[in-house]
Amino acid sequence: MLKAHYPLERFSSIRTPFYYYDMALLRETLEAIRAQVANRPAWKVHYAVKANHNPVILKQIASAGLGADCVSGGEIQAALDAGFAPESIVFAGVGKADWEIILGLKAGIGRFNIESTAEMRVIAQIAAERGVVAPVSIRVNPDIGAHTLAGITTGLAENKFGIFHGQVEEVIREILSLPSLSYCGLHFHIGSQILEMEDFAALCNRINSICEQLENRRLPVGDINVGGGLGIEYGHPNHLPIANFQAYFNTFSELLPPRYPLHFELGRSIVASCGSLIARVLYVKEGLAKKFAVLDAGMNDLLRPALYHSIHRIENLSSDGKETIYDVVGPVCESSDVFGKGIVLNECHRGDLIAIRSAGAYGESMASQYNCRPLARSVFSE
């Protein structure tokens, strides 16, 4: 069984479970993005902090010159602390609290992506009270589906996100009438873990028809933030560790007119592959119908499989034994605390080190202390 190379000797003295980050792979991924955008000066990539807010990871990404995409005051603060330029920070989210709006205004962030007219008016009022002008873009609900997990589509009319695309014109007019707001552009995001470029192509078609309509009415379009969502190959982390950035960026450059400056908000595709959750086998349990490998990591450490039935490749790092089929489960008192069913692993024994791959995105950032379990620490390759 092909496995990634890990420093097992180093691992032997670290208490499991922990997150392990391959910083060389993170840098390689950032370089792959840089290579795509280097000749496109009007493009800006913002890292979606929600995917992983570990300060070491954030600093590495900030030093590569990316902006930050934040969805809370806490994320704005984490981005500022890590060295992201305030003007490179964009702030989205359907429920921005007053203190978060004030934090963004004080810090001088680059954009508030407004999700409703109610929110727009509150931002206008708070900015006016402070004598400042808030830069805003409209988060548009494009009513475009995506071929991904139901829990992570965001661009359908039934989803809570954004302002319906048919209302954009009237919202722009209102923004233009409010002196404490400056209109900057449009923002979209159709979902996450998207591998079919046709989904992004459908988004481009919708963007083009909205922009055409605005231009016909002599209304400004501004810049266009197409959101994030590029997926990774969870099944093949050893063969395909870097997302297909070329196909992704080419889709937008081919389908959107070059006169619009473009912004992107990538999360998963930047950090997923570089992270693994490392655990140990506590027990091998022979059930009536199957064998269970019971790990010392649980759904509180990595929630994705329990929440979305998502697949992560799992490897036994300590064994070359006979390939055997296991349900790989955690210790949490929930039947859904399962990392994978019917997983082929080299024969497991108590104490074996297990890697749950591609856990760098939405792993540590979604961890909790459910069952009073301590948060897994993070370990870096350097």
By CB under 6 A, the residues from 237 to 266 that bind ligand LLP are 265-266
Which part of the chain contacts ligand LLP (CB under 6 A), choosing from 25-33, 57-65, 187-195, 201-209? 187-195
The helix (H) or strand (E) run that includes residue 111 is strand 111-114
Residue 51 or 61 with smaller CB distance to ligand LLP = 51
Residue 135 or 229 with smaller CB distance to ligand LLP = 229
Cα separation, 284 vs 250, in Å, equals 48
Residue 154 or 276 with smaller CB distance to ligand LLP = 154
Q: Given candidates 61, 362, 364, 367, which one binds ligand LLP under the rule CB under 6 A?
A: 362
By CB under 6 A, the residues from 79 to 118 that bind ligand LLP are 92
Which part of the chain contacts ligand LLP (CB under 6 A), choosing from 10-18, 77-85, 223-231, 292-300? 223-231
Total residues found in the chain within this entry = 382
Residues whose CB falls within 8 Å of the CB of residue 32, separated by 6 or more in sequence, listed in order: 242, 245
Residue 133 or 242 with smaller CB distance to ligand LLP = 242
Q: Given candidates 53, 280, 304, 313, which one binds ligand LLP under the rule CB under 6 A?
A: 304
Nearest Cα to 169, choosing from 110, 122, 112, 213?
213
Tell me the closest approach of the beta carbon of residue 361 to ligand LLP, in angstroms: 6
Contact 70, 90 (CB under 8 A): yes
By CB under 6 A, the residues from 17 to 76 that bind ligand LLP are 48, 51, 69
- Cross-strand bridge partners of residue 182: 135
Cα separation, 259 vs 303, in Å, equals 41
Which part of the chain contacts ligand LLP (CB under 6 A), choosing from 1-9, 60-68, 236-244, 267-275? 267-275
Q: How far is CA 208 from CA 143, 152, 201, in A?
A: 14, 24, 11
Q: Is 227 in the site for ligand LLP (CB under 6 A)?
A: yes
- Letters for 148-177 (x = contact with ligand LLP by CB under 6 A, - = none) are ----x-x-----------------------
Please give the backbone phi and psi of residue 380, each rounded to the nearest 5 degrees, phi first.
Answer: -120, 150
Residue 140 or 281 with smaller CB distance to ligand LLP = 140
- Letters for 190-209 (x = contact with ligand LLP by CB under 6 A, - = none) are --xx----------------
Write the DSSP symbol of residue 153.
B
Cα separation, 366 vs 144, in Å, equals 26
Instruction: Give the number of other Cβ atoms within 10 Å of residue 225's Cβ.
Output: 27
Cα separation, 96 vs 99, in Å, equals 8
Contacting residues toward ligand LLP, per CB under 6 A: 48, 51, 69, 92, 152, 154, 189, 192-193, 227-230, 265-269, 304, 308, 362
